[in-house]
Chain A
Amino acid sequence: MTIELAWRILTQDIGRTALALAGIFMAILLVFIQLGLFFAVPQGGLLLYDHMRFDLLLVSDQYEYQAQPGAFQLTRLIAARNSPDVVKATPLYFGFVKWKSGEDGLWPDLFVIGFDPASAVLTPASINADLGVLSRPDTILVDNATRPIFGPIEAGRVVDIADRREAIGGQYVLGTGFMGLGVALLSEANFARLLPHRGLAMPNLGAIQLKPGVDPSGAAADLQKLTGPGTTIFTRPKLDAYEAGYWTTRTSVGLIFGSGLLISIVVGIMVIYQIVSTQIGRQLPQFATLKAIGYSDRALAGTVTAMSLIIAVAGFWPALAAAALIYDEIRQRTLLPMTLSIGHAALVLTASLAMAVVSALLAADGLRRADPADVF
């Protein structure tokens, strides 16, 4: 009877219920947005790794996060390559160079990634289609999310980078993440020419691919013995957790979006509470009647909770659809990788149901006031 009664109350005045739905829709949408931002930042930090082929990642023990990884000796990676478990071990080199062909005579800093094109260590199809181009001398591939301050980035344009003339060989789709305002890919030889003080002896990342069937955590421990002190080897899950931890605890990002998330949940509870308690206020004589004919406070509280859960679930779906649109918009405006995964949706649904229950329990307090003797 609980759910049926709740349903009847809700369908009795459609206009009012529509209003309640609008309220809950906004409250849930708010939670979606804040949650999306909260996860988008670490996700942005993982952008390069999500597009890289590796089972284990070799880094310096001074590793901070992807764009500030520290460097280690190439010989360490070569040592790892000798393990029978390892199929391939590819070094990647990071650096900043001045792009002296920006808009208005400005020289923005370009984040460059040097790697052996033959290794095909990056997964985007737009990169692998142009590996031949990348092997040409003084030719670069530019990320298509590079900001307008760099000027046009069409294939064929010749630009001045660190006082060398470099041809743009094409664009690729990966994203700049937290690497900088502009990112470009270079062959190893080109990297060494552009950053002569860096050379190729000290890579920043070592992407290790294991033989099929080899257990990554076991291999990580074995390889650590080969690569020695001063290096760290991450498995994928450990790396994901480490990067997420960096962004949420080391920077102000976790606090900014975490507090937004927390407030959005409280606001959601307030919204649902307002709606439910208004409904209770309106149906007070009816509730009092039910009490008079023997229903307990608990049973009525159950009805209120059912009512609150029904509108939360009904409000969730349009909020999910709207969130998909808003995520798209934010992704385009901020270049943050806002992705609406099933995990997020499940998390928000759980939060919505919890919000509904909490507000129902708060509002059910008003039911105790439903005294049959008062009402009639």
Chain B
Amino acid sequence: MAVGFFLADRGGMHAVPLAWRGVIANKWRLVRSSAGIGFAVLLMLTQLGFQEAFFAASLRVLRGLDGEIFLQSAHKYQFATQDPFSVSLLATAKTVPGVKSVSPFYADWYDLFWKSPVDGKVYLIRGFAFDPDRPVLLLPAVNTQRGRLQATGAVLVDRRARRFLGMDRPVAQSEINGVRTDIVGQFALGPDFVSDGTVIMSERTFASVMHASVSDPPGVELGVIKLAPGADPAQVQSALRRALPASITIMTKDQLVAFERAFQANLSSAGPIFAIGTIVGFVVGMLISYQITFAEVSDRLPQYATLKAIGYPTAYLLRVVLEQAGLNGIAGWIPAWLTSLGLYRLIEHIALLPMQMSLGITLLSLALTLGMCLISATIAVGRVIRADPAAVF
């Protein structure tokens, strides 16, 4: 790693890993400076992690849908809102060439009240339903257990739901909207910022807990379409557009995810809040790094002046200082990144948020760290430029 920081042999001068030597010269100071920078980096990493977790949680179900093209009401503005349409439209979609299957996906966020086995109180939960013969979710635990959902009243519950719902407990029965339900299995999904827990059931059970009459079955929230082998998604999408009324929107999975992401980004407070946290972490890190570089440069002023006196150009010394600041940044970033892995796990466990270290967060935090160290070093380096051999000695 340090190779890039070893000084290149320029103008006939010896290549000396001066920056590296400078960094490791005083171990105690290194510990101190990496702790200072590290905490600022850790602050940025937690804020970035929360932001990612917020989006990951709100997009988790959409990403986990098992289909290529989706039908939903043209009036639906976000996933977590009811805007059902008539199930009969799915039959129309099925006749379009290139469509292999159309499966109904039912969902409700506002009307299902789950009786918690923890305290016997009822809580609002999220419910998903489908035809057990036509799976619509990519969750393996749901698909292996879907046969058990055939019986009316059978439900699968989310063992990662918030604890007060008691879905992680080995309980065989509970109630939804006063209707007795048999818990036939569990899956792992986790809450998002709207729902605390999820129950998955068959369409028949869904109709029964929604107290829907036989003549007026619940509407479909999403139509999940799988394409015939070799079918062109764009062509099928436009054929569906011609076959279906304007009250239905036809989206690919990417479009569906992008639509939801845009809604969350525009209308929730999460983006600006976590951006502010990250920016503040950056500025604080810059100040810490400035202090460090300033102290180091001040201490080594005689050495720098000596180098100048024996003929090293100022540009060379500037590089040494900048490289040293970069190394200090990396020395702070590495422990912070490692600590954040543990911190993410801890937060994921306590808050049930999908905190995932991603390549994006890794690179962004590294770039921010180097950015704050190099900017502050550039400001602090003025002293080296002015280092006058005659004045120092």
Contacts and interface: CB of A to CB of B under 8 A. Distances in A.
A190 to B, nearest CB: 21
A108 B77 contact: yes
Contacts of B40: 267, 270
A211 interface: no
Interface stretch (A165-173, A214-222, A273-281): A273-281
Interface string A6-26: 000000000000010011001
Nearest to B74: A105
A204 to B, nearest CB: 14
A96 B80 CA distance: 13
B36 A271 contact: yes
Interface stretch (A134-142, A248-256, A286-294): A248-256
A345 interface: no
Contact of A270 (B36, B50, B299, B343): B36
A106 B39 contact: no
B284 A334 contact: no
B312 interface: no
Contact of B290 (A19, A107, A267, A273): A19
A120 interface: no
A324 to B, nearest CB: 15
A212 B271 CA distance: 46
A281 B298 CA distance: 11
Contact of B269 (A22, A264, A277, A334): A334
A250 B280 contact: no
Contacts of B110: 96
A181 B267 contact: yes
Contacts of B170: none
A336 B280 contact: no
Contacts of A326: 276
Nearest to B41: A267
Interface residues of A, number: 50
Contacts of A100: 75
Given A23-B287, A106-B75, A271-B288, A278 B46 contact: no
Contacts of B273: 37, 330, 334, 336
A112 interface: no
B341 interface: no
B321 to A, nearest CB: 17
B30 interface: no
B35 A270 contact: yes
Interface string B367-384: 000000000000000000
A2 interface: no
Interface stretch (B4-12, B117-125, B201-209): B117-125
Contacts of A330: 272-273, 276
Interface in A92-143: 96, 98, 100, 102, 105-109
A64 B114 CA distance: 13
Contacts of B269: 333-336
B14 to A, nearest CB: 31
A67 to B, nearest CB: 10
Contacts of A64: 123-124
A161 to B, nearest CB: 13
A62 interface: yes
B352 interface: yes
A350 interface: no
Contact of A68 (B76, B124, B267, B343): B124
A29 B272 CA distance: 17
B39 A266 contact: yes
B237 interface: no
Contacts of A33: 276-277, 280
Interface string A301-318: 000000000000000000
B284 A271 contact: yes
Interface in B13-45: 32-33, 35-36, 39-40, 42-43
Nearest to B289: A274
Contact of B50 (A30, A256, A333): A256
Contacts of B174: none
Contact of A260 (B121, B277, B298): B277
Nearest to A332: B272
A263 B353 contact: no
Nearest to A268: B284
Nearest to A16: B294
B164 interface: yes
B77 A149 contact: yes
Contacts of B294: 19, 278
Interface string B39-76: 11011001100100000000000000000000001111
B159 interface: no
A149 B110 CA distance: 21
Given A33-B276, A278-B295, A255 B347 contact: yes
* Residue of B76, B110, B123, B288 with highest tally of chain A CB at under 10 A: B288
A259 interface: yes
A27 interface: yes
Given A64-B123, A260-B47, A255 B267 contact: no
A267 B276 CA distance: 16
A335 B43 CA distance: 24
Nearest to B162: A250
A147 interface: yes
Interface string B292-304: 1011001100000
A250 B164 contact: yes
B32 A62 contact: no
Contacts of B74: 105
Q: Which 10 pairs, one residue from A and one from B, show the smallest C-beta to C-beta distance?
A: A334-B269, A107-B75, A252-B351, A106-B77, A23-B287, A270-B36, A255-B351, A333-B272, A274-B291, A267-B39
Interface of A: 19, 22-23, 26-27, 29-30, 33-34, 37, 62, 64, 68, 96, 98, 100, 102, 105-109, 147, 149, 181, 250, 252, 255-256, 259-260, 263-264, 266-267, 270-271, 273-275, 277-278, 281-282, 326, 330, 333-336
21 contacts: A26-B284, A27-B284, A30-B280, A33-B280, A147-B267, A250-B162, A252-B351, A255-B347, A256-B50, A263-B39, A264-B280, A267-B40, A267-B281, A270-B36, A271-B291, A273-B32, A274-B291, A278-B291, A334-B269, A334-B273, A336-B269
Given A37-B273, A106-B77, A259-B343, 17 more contacts: A22-B287, A64-B123, A64-B124, A98-B75, A109-B81, A252-B193, A259-B46, A259-B347, A264-B280, A270-B36, A273-B36, A274-B32, A275-B291, A282-B298, A326-B276, A333-B269, A333-B272
